[in-house]
Each structure stands twice: as structure tokens, then as C-alpha cells.
Amino acid sequence: MRAVLIAVAAILLMTGCSRTSAVVARAEQAGCLSVVAEYQRDATRTVLSLSARECRREGDDALLPAADALDVLQRLAWQARAAPFDTIYATVYRVAEAPDVLRSSAVETDRATATSRWGSRSADLASDSWPAGRSDIRWVLLFGAAAVGWLVVMVAVFKEVRAGRIVIVYFMR
């Protein structure tokens, strides 16, 4: 029983782990700090949202102006291996124009504008992790399986406590 519990717990813990996306890794290598990337979908488009606390110039470590920082974020996202997207929405919070103030500067760029600025996006870069025509059901099932797994673990621990094989010690001040 304990071996089963350990195996279930290991599987459940590993489902929550993932590598940093290629977009975030490229942006951090280029000098952007605290980069977060996520996909947002609505009925007609997929948006790759990027945000960074600040972006610094390589070499002299100076903060980039807002336009340059946003351009760096969007260009790196456009050139990174990622799931297909229609729009890039980038936000930077600390820029050279006001280095002591955290205020968001944001820009949204559609696929046509990105293609005209940085060239066409290679088909090799599109890691189609969200194929067209598929629903979100696999993620719902994964979450459901994780919830059921944790429930099984908790029930097993409760039974072990009731049987006296696990002792819970309370420390009170």
C-alpha cells in the first residue's frame, strides 16, 4: 500500500512541473527580467501575452527605452519555438524614460505587422502543442485525474491515521 501511495504521489507531483518556455528563456537571455508568458484564447484568435519587469541593454546593463524593450520582447517571441499564435501582446513595467517608476508600457502586434517587421515565421518554430480542432478536454481530464489521485492519497493517509500506523503530533505554544 505504501509503495502505491509513493508512486501516486510522485506522479501527481510531477504533473505540476514544467520547463520554462522557449519564449521566456530567450527573453531572459536577452536581458529581460521577471518574464512571464501565457497564451490567451478567445473565439477568433490566440494571443501570446508577455510581460517583463524590465529589459536591459546587453553590454552596458542600461535600461532600454519602452519602445526598444517592447520590440525586443515581441521580436524574441516571434523568433522562438512556441505554439502558434495570432497576436503578441507585450508589457514592460520599468523603462529608461522613468527608471524609478513602475508603470506599464504595452503594445499589441498582429501576425501581419510582425511578419512585415521581422519576416515570416518559420513553420519549424511552430510547436503545435494546441492543434486546431481539439478541445481543452485533455487538460480538464488531467486536472480531474490529479484531484482524484490526491483524494485517494488523503483517504489512504486518513485510514492509516485511524489504524494507528501514523501518529500526528501537535505542538502547542
- The predicted structure's pLDDT at residue 20: 42
Q: Distance between CA 162 and CA 165 in Å, rounded?
A: 8
- The predicted structure's pLDDT at residue 61: 82
**Residue located via cell numbers 511552430:** 126
Query: Pairing state of beta strands 87-94 and 46-55?
Result: parallel
Q: Distance between CA 78 and CA 80 in Å, rounded?
A: 6
State pLDDT tens for residues 87-135: 999 999 999 898 888 888 999 999 999 999 998 887 777 655 545 555 6
Residue 82: pLDDT band with limits 50, 70, 90: confident
Nearby residues of 61 by Cβ (< 8 Å), 6 or more positions away: 31
Residue 19: pLDDT band with limits 50, 70, 90: very low
Q: What is the pLDDT of the chain when averaged over all its residues?
A: 83
Q: Is the pLDDT of residue 17 over 60?
A: no
- Listed by start position, the domains of the chain span 2-15+135-163, 22-125
Which residue stretches of 81-136 are H helix? 111-118
State pLDDT tens for residues 1-15: 667 767 766 665 655
Percent over 90 (pLDDT), the chain: 40
Contact 19, 73 (CB under 8 A): no
CA distances from 6 to 148, 150, 158 (A): 15, 12, 15
State pLDDT tens for residues 133-152: 556 677 788 888 999 999 99
State pLDDT tens for residues 61-71: 889 999 999 99
- The predicted structure's pLDDT at residue 23: 85
